[in-house]
Amino acid sequence: MSEAGSIEKGPDGVYTFTLARPDAMNALNRELVELIAEASNAVRDDPDARATIFVGLGDRAFSAGADLKERAGLGSVEVAEAVASISRAMQAVAEIPVPTIAAINGVALGGGFELALACDIRIASTAAVMGLPETTLAITGRRISAADALQYGIVHEVATPDELRMRALAVARAIASNGPIAVRAAKEAIVRGMEMPLNEGVTLENELYGRTVPTKDRLEGLEAFREKRAPVYRGE
């Protein structure tokens, strides 16, 4: 992609997007924000995608949020567009149809924290610090540690800095080993179902389950269970 960020796809269908501005604490300048949106759309359009990891380059920051040095040189109209573009990029991340993992390897503030929150799963380094400094509401008005974030349910797991990326990759690969059609259906059921009344959510779940019934993957899963072996799913 560019020096601001890069995306790589592993042979198992696991994507890794790296925010690559360590000298700027991986701050979200306009170029990086555009790359996040483009990468998210690329993953969305790839039928072979299985999971996506977001991580910051270096060990100091996942992302410190908006690039305030860049903002200082922008006019009011440009600032408004920059803010809107971050919102669009976060929405693109949230709409990735496969599970997403934020490997929070350091500071995650403002827009950087929002990026982590847009992901489905958050694994934080013990050195991570998170918060939304632009607000003083509730716990988000101050910076919180990984331990506090785990207690509040903001992150799902905490790992040492040396183990963080491997742990995120292990979780992604575990997800990738499951039937991809079923995984995508499960994520859709969760994301869309949260916005529905219970009865509509149950109907949606049944509809999505119906999509998996005629698939070869479902039959492979049953056959593998009978044969006491690991299934080989092909997304068919």
Enumerate the active-site residues: 66, 111, 114, 134
CA separation for the pair 117, 227 (Å, rounded): 40
CB 28 within 8 A of CB 68: no
CA separation for the pair 190, 87 (Å, rounded): 21
Write the DSSP symbol of residue 65.
S
Q: What is the CA radius of gyration of the chain?
A: 19
> Which of 89, 24, 36, 86 shows the shortest CA–CA distance to 61?
24
DSSP secondary structure letters along 86-143 = HHHHHHHHHT-SS-EEEEE-SEEETHHHHHHHHSSEEEEETT-EEE-TT--SGGGGS-
CB 176 within 8 A of CB 51: yes
